[in-house]
Structure 1
Amino acid sequence: MNPDLFNETVSRHLTAQLAQACPRAARPGLLVAVSGGADSTALLLAARHWATNTDSPLAAAHLHHGLRGVEADGDQEFCADLCRRLDVPLHTGHEDPRPLARERGKGLEEAARHLRRRFLAGVLASDDTLHAVATGHHRDDQAETVIMRLMRGTGPDGLAGIRPVAGHWLHPLLTVSRAEILAYLQAAGQSWRHDATNSDGANTRARLRRELLPVARGIFGPGVEAAAARLAELQDADRELLARWTDEALARCLRDEDLDVDTLTALEPALAARVLRIWLGTEDLERVHVEAVLKWLDTGISGTGLDLPDGRRLEREFDLLRRPRNATVPGRNASEYRILVRNEEITDDVSRDTDRPDDESTWSLVCPADVLQGRLRVRNWAEGDRMRPFGLDGTKKLSDLFREKKLPAKARPGLLVVEDDAGILWSVGVARAERTRLLPTTGSAVSLRVVRRQASEVQRPGNKNP
């Protein structure tokens, strides 16, 4: 493929996808996930072209899994050299997926993917100039994903494959084939790294490429990958319509954060299933589990509960379906967390308490900028800690707040607090101090986010140490 045409195509996709993922960002910055392989190398080159033309922030990130010895070391060195030459900052980290694979009973490939996404999300959260992550998934990857999901018995959402935009995750190469990527790199005179496990490995995707796709091409012709990718595009268009219907049905069912049982069970079963998945925040709820929930709601009575996979539990209280708010919080060490502070625009919903102790993605608080005094710090709570919660004239012990919130004793050692020189201003996921209240007279506001520290370092242009 002509390098100029490739760069313009990817730049156009990046601009459109960033506008969809970050509509409020005036100058959205991009983090590119790089492995050293052909796909991510081509993406970084094209993204560099986009960043130069739009004067937008650009950085790259590489996670070393320690699985392939000197070959993996070579991948990281390649990424470091490439980023130095392109004058792009590189974030690096090192995490072995084998312990996680053993702990979860999952495959090594899935565990590595989980660690990469966590690493990239951490880098994104730590840099105010970056707004989205772009990965090098292309049309052939899309086709393979659709075929694998089809063989496993997926539904319409699964057949939609990899979304071009999924939250803050962008996939600007989905319309480009692997052959076009290789042709682009060759025309640009750019080398890349080769991971033999992508084609010679025993994982499902490698075997599909090596064994199944050649047979499919022999039966259906050389356009089999393009046809599978086209199916994903068609399903994605249908999925948008289904998503709108689901959002409308969910709005009818919601009662604050709970679901009205009568409204939910009156829906068509397929629509009720989609509502449940969205409400629970997971696409992994299988058909058998959905049917079990609906049957339980038809026959169950108030005060009963139902356990779902991964430790999730639902409870029925009269006509409401609820997710227990007292989920056990794993033990946490405050030294593994840091506070990110950024200026925040004051809107109608920024002061709503939506953070939960068991969900680190919700740990965000917006408060007046002028109430912060001295240095901010995060620590584990301790017996005797006190704060002044919303609506109280005096202070209250945190232990009393925890009891009121029905947080079990075994969950409390992992709870964190944020404090400044004036005392505790936030019991993370539990309560905020009265002084953090946003008032009509509030001039400027800041957001505080507590995020997990990453075992990564940042390579800046000109630094020769990878």
Structure 2
Amino acid sequence: MKKEETVKILDEVLEFSKSKGLFDCGIIVVGLSGGPDSVALFHILKGLRNCFDISCDIYALHCNHHLRPGVCDEEAKLVSDLCKENHVELKILDFDCKGFAELNHISEETAGRVLRYEAFEQYAKALEKATGKTVRIAIAHHKDDVSETMMMNLFRGSGLEGLVNPKPVNGRIIRPLLCLKKSELVDYLDILGVSYAIDQTNLTTEGTRNTWRNDIFPKIAESYGDPTVPLTRTYKLLSDDLDFINSSAAEAYCKGRKLISGYPVLAVSEVTGIHKAMKSRVIRSLWLETFGDLIDFEESNLNDCFGLIDNGAGGEVLLDMPFGRKAYRFGDIFAFGTEDGVKELACKIAEDKGFLVAGGPVSLEISLPEDGETEVKIPNSAYILKTRIIENACELEYNNHSWFCPIEALAEGKITLGNSAGTGSALRMKRAGSNGSKELNRLMTDLKIPESARAQILFVKKDGDILWLPGFGHGLGFTNAVSLDKYIASGQDGAGSGTFVRIALERQ
């Protein structure tokens, strides 16, 4: 490669990256391992910046996995020296990759990938907060990586997504070198006279990628020529097909997706009948929106989700997913989350139906206000309990979370605001004007409230009877003008006294 050809390399990367919108940001963080690929990426981006072809600020991030004693530290020093020479801010992070792999029962290679990409995301967010600029992470994948990954995934039985991988842009991750071969990158560095580290383990045939790179591909080349040429062409054709399919899948996802108090879920009725190819992408889209990645979400997990969606569910169903995550089905709702996350979702479903929930046990005795009005923080919740004596009917103010109780009820005995968390008590509710009562858990079933949320729902009770269930109704007193008229007409004790206690639950 001649000197002028280094300029051609810069132009090729610039044209490719602009066509994909890779440099539409304020900061680019280079994932800098110290190997030839990442060092070439570093110098190419610096070259484009110095020529004013791009205006992004350049930063670097190095992850030391400590898997090769001594060598990893040498690479960290090489990277540090490189950044100092080029006046680029560098952040070095140290990981116990082996320990993380053992803890999560995954390979060290997978552990390194997970830790790296988590570090990229955290560093990018920190930079965005500090600078106010949009941050993207540049990774040094090239054409040879595309070919290797395509064949590895093909023999794993992958679909289109695995064959069209890695992509030029994925979230904040960008790959400006997918237009170049590794040999071009090495020649580029040799012309510049730049030093780089060589990972000796990459020269062996140990590991699946090394087997393809150092054994299978050279044998294919003997008979058919460089395999990256036809594989790059196939990658382009499949990319076009995948773009069209993903566009259709995005429309299906938008149709089936809804938010429950900000939590993304799928309406099962909207996705049950769609083609399996669309359904798989809709499910992956929900996983991606929920967790921000598709790491280790595999075909077996997808098939479990198909079964959960297609086979119906009488109540709440949870399935185990990678990294302790869960797939959740309740009625027409399908979602992903952590174990705590799906419990929170169940409470959000109850809240979406008008009920009020607490995060833990609540038992708060309600007494007559001594000074006419009291205000008490409800434990384990975001609500305040307010009580006020009302002696003038003109002072009545109604809302969805207030109840008017005849003052005699508070005088006669203990009334409690609470929930059934941790009590296991059997409570019943008789709605005002109804001839019969119903056990609370049965009532929750009829109202389609998730079982895991039922114990958190707030109510006012006296002995074993629920007097007021916010979001559903009351068994005594009234909550609005219509129920006031019915209460007076009923002739119940205290109906004509005109003195009530207004009990209200208000969010802080």
What's the TM-score once normalised by structure 1's chain length? Answer: 0.67
Measure, in 1, the Cα distance between the counterparts of 2:124 and 2:77: 22
Mapped contact 2:12–2:179 kept (Cα < 8 A): no
Query: Separation in 1 of the partners of 2:257 and 2:69?
Result: 51
Structure 2 CA distance for aligned equivalents of residues 309 and 210 of structure 1: 35
Equivalent position amino acid for 2:72 in 1: A
5+ unaligned residues in a row in structure 2: which ranges?
A: 349-358, 363-373, 384-418, 422-449, 456-506
- Asked if the contact 2:169/2:175 (under 8 Å) is kept, the reply is yes
Partner of 1:102: 102
Conserved 8 A contact 1:11-1:49: no
Pick closer, same or farther for the CA change 1:408–1:68 going to 2, 3 Å: farther
Gap change, CA 1:76 and 1:395, over 3 Å in 2: farther
| Change beyond 3 A, Cα 1:302–1:81 | same
**In 1: Cα distance, 2:246 partner to 2:228 partner:** 26
Tell me the equivalent position of 1:36.
34
- The within-5 A match list for 1:177-326 is 177-200=181-204, 202-221=206-225, 223-256=226-259, 257-281=264-288, 283=294, 284-310=296-322, 311-323=324-336
Cα deviation per residue 1:291-345 (whole Å; 9 max; x = unaligned)?
443344443333041414223433433333344686269xxxxxxxxxxxxxxxx
* Shift, 1:397, TM fit: 5.2
The answer to whether the 8 Å contact 1:199/1:207 transfers is no
Deviations along 1:361-410, whole A, 9 cap, x unmatched?
xxxxxxxxxxxxxxxxxxxx9x99xxxxxxxx98855722499997999x
AA in 2 matched with 1:101 = A
Counterpart AA for 1:239 = L
CA contact (8 A) 1:62 1:93 kept: yes
CA distance in 2 between counterparts of 1:395 and 1:75 reads 60
Q: 1:172 aligns with which of 176, 197, 201?
A: 176
Whether the 8 Å contact between 1:159 and 1:231 is mirrored in structure 2 is no
Shift of the 88–15 alpha-carbon distance from structure 1 to 2, 3 Å rule, reads farther
CA gap 1:62/1:264 in 2 versus in 1, 3 angstroms:
same
Distance 1:42 1:314 in 2: 42
In the alignment, which residue of structure 2 is the partner of 1:463? none
3-state SS of 2:71 partner: helix
Residues 174-209 of structure 1, C-alpha deviations (whole Å, 9 max, x = no match)? 110011111111111212111101122622211221
157-166 vs 232-241, which deviates more?
Answer: 232-241
Alpha-carbon distance between aligned partners in 2 of 1:120 and 1:296, rounded to the nearest angstrom? 34
Deviation, structure 1 residue 7: 1.9
Q: Secondary structure at the match of 1:32?
A: strand
What's the CA shift for 1:172?
0.4
Please state how far the C-alpha of 1:81 moved relative to its aligned partner.
Answer: 1.2
Rounded to whole Å, the distance in 2 between the matches of 1:135 and 1:398 is 48
In the TM superposition, what is the alpha-carbon distance from 1:286 to its structure 2 partner?
3.8
Question: How far does residue 99 in structure 1 lie from its aligned partner after superposition?
Answer: 0.7
Query: 2: CA distance between counterparts of 1:113 and 1:40?
Result: 15
Q: Distance in 2 between matches of 1:193 and 1:299?
A: 54
The within-5 A match list for 1:62-461 is 62-127=62-127, 128=131, 129=133, 131-200=135-204, 202-221=206-225, 223-256=226-259, 257-281=264-288, 283=294, 284-310=296-322, 311-323=324-336, 327=340, 396=377, 399-401=380-382
CA distance in 1, matches of 2:339, 2:68: 42
CA contact (8 A) 2:144 2:182 kept: yes
Runs of at least 5 residues in structure 1 that lack an aligned partner in the other structure: 330-353, 358-380, 385-392, 410-432, 435-466
Say if 1:109 and 1:398 are closer, same or farther in 2 by CA, change over 3 A.
Answer: farther
SS of the counterpart of 2:189? helix
Q: Distance in 2 between matches of 1:396 and 1:296?
A: 40
Q: Alpha carbons of 1:398 and 1:149: their partners in 2 closer, same or farther (altered >3 Å)?
A: farther
Q: Distance in 1 between matches of 2:48 and 2:278?
A: 41
Contact 1:58–1:130, Cα closer than 8 Å, also in 2:
no
Cα shift readout 1:269-294 (whole Å, capped 9, x = no counterpart): 22112211211226444444444433
Q: Cα–Cα, structure 1 residues 121 and 290, in superposed 2: closer, same or farther, change >3 Å? A: closer
CA shift at 1:114, angstroms?
Answer: 1.4
State how far apart, in whole Å, the 2-side matches of 1:226 and 1:285 are.
30
2:13 touches 2:179 (CA, 8 Å); kept in 1? no
Rate the CA distance shift 1:71–1:316 in 2: closer, same or farther, 3 A. Answer: closer
Letter in 1 for 2:110: E
Contact 1:328 1:408 in 2 (8 A): no
Q: Deviations over 1:86-121 (max 9, x none)?
A: 111111111120011111221111111211112222
Relative to structure 1, is the Cα distance of residues 316 and 73 closer, same or farther in structure 2, using a 3 angstrom cutoff? closer
Determine helix, strand or coil for the equivalent of 1:172. Answer: coil
Shift in CA distance, 21/49, structure 1 to aligned 2, threshold 3 Å: closer
The question of whether the paired residues in 1 share the 8 Å contact of 2:326 and 2:338 is answered with no
Identity across aligned pairs (percent)? 25
Residue 301 of structure 1 aligns to a residue in which SS?
A: coil
SS in 2 for 1:314: strand
- 2:205/2:214 contact within 8 Å kept: no
Output the CA distance in 1 between the equivalents of 2:23 and 2:376: 41
Displacement after TM superposition at 1:80 (Å):
1.2
Change (3 A) 1:88 1:303: same
Change (3 A) 1:91 1:13: farther
For 1:248, the aligned partner's letter is E
Retained in 2: the 8 A contact 1:139–1:229?
Answer: yes
Equivalent residue for 2:14? 11
TM-score by length of 2: 0.62
Contact kept? 1:21, 1:165, Cα under 8 Å: no
